[in-house]
Amino acid sequence: AQSVTQLGSHVSVSEGALVLLRCNYSSSVPPYLFWYVQYPNQGLQLLLKYTTGATLVKGINGFEAEFKKSETSFHLTKPSAHMSDAAEYFCAVSDPTGGGNKLTFGTGTQLKVEL
């Protein structure tokens, strides 16, 4: 079984400050890992994914995440927050060995960006 833990259901940063959203996972096999963003009343949009290869992955809108196997983490960062980054962010894990690539999500982190 797989699971995802997102520390901090709400994170608030100032515009221009570093964004750090935390994600830890549990998986019995080397996982695929994802970050999705959800704006109000919209579906989820993929920000970035780690499948294999380079452990530092870059996504859209200036976000990046690093897969750290030893820490079972996949934290999301952005050097400088913008007002438009305010949204809910979900970390997710998938088992690449089977299960149809279904996603197991964390409970989400609501990001607030203040002036």
Residues at the site binding other proteins, with contacts judged by CB under 8 A = 4, 9, 32, 36, 41-46, 49, 51, 90, 92, 94, 96, 99-108
Q: Are strands 109-114 and 10-14 parallel, antiparallel or unpaired?
A: parallel
Helix, strand, coil shares of the chain as percentages rounded to 5? 10, 50, 40
Min CB(27)–other proteins separation in Å: 14
Min CB(99)–other proteins separation in Å: 7
Is the Cβ of residue 4 or residue 113 nearer to other proteins in the bound state? 4
Is the Cβ of residue 62 or residue 108 nearer to other proteins in the bound state? 108
Q: Are 89 and 80 in contact (CB under 8 A)?
A: no
Token couple for 84:
């438009």
Token couple for 17:
């400050």
Min CB(32)–other proteins separation in Å: 5
